Copies of this chain bind each other. A is one copy, B any other.
Amino acid sequence: MSFEARLRDIVGANHVITDGDLSAWELDWRKRWRGRARAVVRPASTIEVAAVVRACAAAGVALVPQGGNTGLVGGGVPDDSGTQVLLSLTRLNRVRSIDAANLAMTVDAGCVLQAVQEAAAAQQLLFPLSLAAEGSCTIGGNLATNAGGTQVLRFGNARDLCLGLEVVTAQGEVWDGLSGLRKDNTGYDLRDLYIGSEGTLGIITAATLKLYPQPAAVTTAVATPPTLESAVGLLALAQARLGAGLTGFEVMNEFSLGLVRRHFPQLTQPLAPAPWTVLLEQSDNEGAEHATALFEGLLETALERGLITDAAVAANLEQSHTMWHLRESIPLAQSLEGLNIKHDISVPVSRVAAFVAATDAALARRIPGVRLVDFGHLGDGNLHYNVQAPDGEDAAAFLRDREGEINDLVYDAVAAHGGSISAEHGVGLLKREELAQRKSPVALRTMRAIKQALDPSGLLNPGRVL
């Protein structure tokens, strides 16, 4: 039996796709990497995934696992050799069980994040992971890349929201590590090793996720700190006053919000333009009135202390949505403005202001007129520090000619401030070489030893991460 026939035997002829337009699987979301798959294989169960992996292992064929294909670093599309099998997990899309009394649910890896959120909400529970691609990304991809998003300040990354995993190993065995336990110290933490390994150590087929009671009210506020340092001061004040009630703390520089004004003039901005605007989100167990009173007390103190010059608390859900909508429109406004050089970096919160001051100045010296779209999850020290060509310059040429030089400058500054060159997007293809340059040699050797131990033939997502 040929290799393709064996695959058809496992998943059914309809689910082994070799002809026609495969760009839904072969082209990444940013349209930056276009590969060519030997076949797209769409198993419907963990058993089928395991059988596909065994067939690939027997034939020495490499596998690239893919969820919603929304990754930003080229980790989920095949290379252009035409030899790799693209393993799409999207048919594994059942919510297996919800245990409300244990605040846990078990779902297939191919479930779309939003479907997971909705299944929890149907039980009056909260699955807090939230990010821009939630309408199409899958929970398996979220876990494989340890996705971040807007709720990390309170609930942590995808890693922190996972109690257990089911994984198909490189040998095609199924590890049933699904678990509803909050405490389990029986051996090495395989769960967290697979999480964030971008499909290079095993294929996540299901996960048990943490749920939370839904808060009684969620409300937002915006405020304008005179400097980025005062924004960090406001964060500390908000954390002390609201504790775990502070569920979001985003920052946007004036150029980011200016782009939103330019490209989405219909969106109302609640405060006058200022160098920095922050968005605070509070989740309250008592109710909207209590939340608003806490917000008002907090912002009053911040005004008195000079940490902010102006503020507005959302009076209702619609105003809350408007505030978030402004923040979430930045990436699109930025795209409409033209290509740019994206960074997903983090530094300790205490060093964010110094990092931005130093890096802004160095870039301005190097590239007069450079424009910086600087926004992100300040509460986590995570900035999308994006660099746009000077007004009037050709954006495509700028990206082509200056990306390497700008990355060097930005990543050197990140390193100097104790930061990471990939906060929440992963390594994939995009940052693999950078990682090999910048990660400690001991860490790289340890990572390679683990890869060699778990996937000695190197068939799982080769050429990614390491």
Which residues of chain A have a CB within 8 Å of any CB of chain B? 99-104, 145-146, 148, 152-154, 156-157, 159-160, 169, 173-177, 179-190, 192-193, 195-197, 201, 212-213, 215, 232, 236, 239-245, 283, 285-286, 294, 346-351, 377, 380-382, 418-427, 431, 435, 438-440, 442-444, 446-447, 449-454, 465-466
Contacts and interface: CB of A to CB of B under 8 A. Distances in A.
A132 to B, nearest CB: 16
Contacts of A185: 145-146, 148, 196, 420, 422-427
B285 A241 contact: yes
Contact of A181 (B193, B241, B347): B347
Contacts of A183: 148, 152, 157, 346, 377, 380-382, 420, 423-424
Nearest to A349: B102
A420 B450 contact: no
A428 B194 CA distance: 24
B174 A442 contact: yes
A450 B455 CA distance: 11
Given A169-B446, A453-B450, A346 B181 contact: yes
A349 B240 contact: no
Given A182-B382, A183-B381, A452-B453, 6 more contacts: A175-B443, A180-B381, A183-B377, A185-B423, A213-B236, A213-B240
A33 to B, nearest CB: 18
A184 B422 contact: yes
A102 B423 contact: no
A181 B183 CA distance: 24
Nearest to A426: B185
A381 B425 CA distance: 34
A301 to B, nearest CB: 13
Contacts of A245: 243-244, 285
A347 B101 CA distance: 12
Q: Considering residues A100, A187, A196, A285, which has the most beta carbons from chain B within 10 angstroms of its beta carbon?
A: A187
Given A102-B349, A181-B420, A440-B176, A215 B187 contact: no
A418 B208 CA distance: 13
Contacts of A420: 179, 181, 183-186
A102 B184 contact: no
Contact of A215 (B243, B351, B438): B243
A215 B241 CA distance: 9
25 contacts: A169-B442, A169-B446, A179-B418, A182-B349, A182-B380, A183-B380, A183-B381, A184-B346, A185-B196, A186-B420, A186-B427, A186-B431, A187-B435, A187-B443, A187-B466, A188-B451, A189-B189, A192-B193, A213-B239, A215-B243, A241-B285, A244-B245, A449-B454, A450-B453, A452-B453
